[in-house]
Amino acid sequence: MSRRAWIALVVIILVAVEAGSATSLFVARRFLKRPYAPISTTSISRRYREVLETLLAGRTTYLTHSPTLGWTIKPNGHSSLYRANAQGIRGDGDYRLASPEGVLRLAAFGDSFTHGDEVKNQDTWQEALMRVHQRLEVMNFGVGGYGLDQAFLRYQEEGVKYRPHIVLIGFMSGNIFRSVNVFRPFYAQGTDLPLAKPRFVLQDGKLILIENPMKDLERYRDLLAQSKQILPRLGTHDYYFQRKYKRGGLDFLSSVRLFKLVRYELLDQIHGATRRGFYNPNSEPFKVTAAIFDQFVDSVAREGSLPVILFFPHGWDIVRYRRDGRRRYAPMLEHFRAKGYRYIDLLDWLDAHARDVPVDRISPDHYSPLGNRLVADAVWDYLQKDGLVDRVTKP
């Protein structure tokens, strides 16, 4: 075979490899929901820049920067759907430090499902619960985008002083991933919160807090001006930055992108937060999340409050359970049972009382007003069955 023929053959093979790789990437993105989404180590997207510039200019109306929590709700914050009181707690009125006589005070801490994203104040499950019984007071400390670590730290910083009778620890099933994240875009590309947060790490079986690396807004100015230098620093303790593929100079080749994507997905199936469709108890995300639950529950109990974990299934959890009766977070429930923790798995209530209701009516993304009412019903049922309401509210 002549040299020209060999060159032609090599070109044909390379073209075929690239064409096949491009097709595989299309299938992975379109049908497997696994797009090639590299982490950038050198630049911030235009969208993130706009969000950060709005924050730096002081033009946010609801969420704001927090040196310790990463972000939080502004005192008297407001948006088209949400209103917060003067204490930065979602609600229409302020709270006294001590609960009124004969009133059962509950305080809920967690993420957007606790906060009630995408519904108005009156449609949150906390407000629905208070309408059930006039002697209930339910404080909503939820904040959109929070990990369990931030919820725990907010309880320590702000919740303890209100001395709630019951602390509801809200946790959406997907939040196992947030427990090991520092800079949110490394975990959730496309997020509306391109901000940093604290996280816990396990050292010799003990939780150690890694504080928020962006303690003041000037550090975000530095991020915008020196992204190439700052982004790797933010990735020092970030699980995803350390493990996920990065944007590279050869990414114009479909074969390179496919190799990086497949390698990451295969390793993630072995070491990642989920394995074979269930939480992976041997993974760092599971171990850190379980340890935060342990410390959260212990801290609440030591303060004299009753800790109750409120587990929110996402819409896809409901779909899967209706299809095959399995819960991806079952290993975490086993951890709760082994520890003797009180918990409410909302999937049980939804299965018993709303099995015929289409999932998109309950949780089109976050929970709808109907979904929030079902949460309130589940919590009320739990309180009644355990006699928790009468213990406090009886004259």
Closest CA to 379 of 73, 140, 150: 140
On whether both 275 and 158 belong to a single domain, the answer is: yes
Q: What is the mean pLDDT of residues 28-44?
A: 89
Q: What is the pLDDT of residue 394?
A: 60
Question: Does residue 133 lie in a domain region?
Answer: yes
Q: Read off φ and ψ for residue 172, nearest 5 degrees.
A: -85, 140
CA dist., res. 159 & res. 141, Å (int): 8
Q: Which residue has the higher pLDDT, 330 or 10?
A: 330
On whether both 176 and 291 belong to a single domain, the answer is: yes
Residue 391 has pLDDT above 90, yes or no: no
| Joined tokens for residue 185 | 């875009």
| Joined tokens for residue 59 | 């033009």
179 DSSP 8-state letter: G
On whether both 50 and 29 belong to a single domain, the answer is: no
On whether both 7 and 92 belong to a single domain, the answer is: no
Residue 1 has pLDDT above 70, yes or no: no
Question: Does residue 213 lie in a domain region?
Answer: yes
Closest CA to 144 of 373, 365, 374, 378: 365
The tens digit of pLDDT for each residue in 304-356 reads: 999 999 999 999 999 999 999 999 999 999 999 999 999 999 999 999 999 99
The tens digit of pLDDT for each residue in 117-173 reads: 999 999 999 999 999 988 899 999 999 999 999 999 999 999 999 999 999 999 999
Question: Does residue 321 lie in a domain region?
Answer: yes
Q: Read off φ and ψ for residue 23, nearest 5 degrees.
A: -65, -45
Percentage of the chain exceeding pLDDT 90: 78
Strand order in the sheet with 343-345: 136-140, 104-109, 166-172, 306-312, 343-345
78 DSSP 8-state letter: B
On whether both 11 and 67 belong to a single domain, the answer is: no
CA dist., res. 49 & res. 205, Å (int): 38
What confidence tier does 240 reach under pLDDT thresholds 50, 70, 90? very high
Residue 47 has pLDDT above 90, yes or no: yes
CA dist., res. 145 & res. 272, Å (int): 21
- State the angle between helix axes of 315-324 and 346-353 in degrees (0 to 180), rounded to the nearest 10: 60
Question: Does residue 41 lie in a domain region?
Answer: no
Count up the domains in the chain and report the number. 2
Q: Cα-atom radius of gyration of the chain, to the nearest Å? A: 23
- Sign of the C-alpha dihedral, residues 292, 297, 301, 305? positive
On whether both 114 and 17 belong to a single domain, the answer is: no
On whether both 26 and 99 belong to a single domain, the answer is: no
Please report, as a single letter, which amino acid is at residue 343.
Y
Q: What is the mean pLDDT of residues 230-247?
A: 95
Q: What is the pLDDT of residue 393?
A: 63
Q: What is the pLDDT of residue 196?
A: 98
CA dist., res. 28 & res. 345, Å (int): 32
Residue 395 has pLDDT above 70, yes or no: no
On whether both 65 and 10 belong to a single domain, the answer is: no
Question: Does residue 24 lie in a domain region?
Answer: yes
Parent domain of 9: 1-34
Helix (H) or strand (E) holding 370: helix 369-385
Q: Is 327 exposed, middle or buried (0-12, 13-18, 19+ CB in 10 A)?
A: buried
User: What is the domain-level CATH number for residue 366?
Assistant: 3.40.50.1110
On whether both 81 and 26 belong to a single domain, the answer is: no
Question: Does residue 39 lie in a domain region?
Answer: no
Q: Which residue has the higher pLDDT, 319 or 189?
A: 319
Give the E-state strand segments of the chain in sequence order. Answer: 63-66, 70-73, 104-109, 136-140, 166-172, 199-203, 206-210, 274-275, 278-279, 306-312, 343-345
The tens digit of pLDDT for each residue in 249-307 reads: 888 888 888 888 888 888 888 788 899 889 999 999 999 999 999 999 999 999 999 99
On whether both 119 and 169 belong to a single domain, the answer is: yes
On whether both 30 and 51 belong to a single domain, the answer is: no
Question: Does residue 107 lie in a domain region?
Answer: yes
Average pLDDT of the chain, as a whole number:
94
CA dist., res. 314 & res. 365, Å (int): 8
Q: What is the pLDDT of residue 273?
A: 87
Cβ contact 145:250 at 8 Å: no
Residue with tokens 């082994």: 338
Question: Does residue 273 lie in a domain region?
Answer: yes
On whether both 101 and 152 belong to a single domain, the answer is: yes
| Joined tokens for residue 51 | 């969000």
**Pairing relation of β-strands 306-312 and 166-172?**
parallel
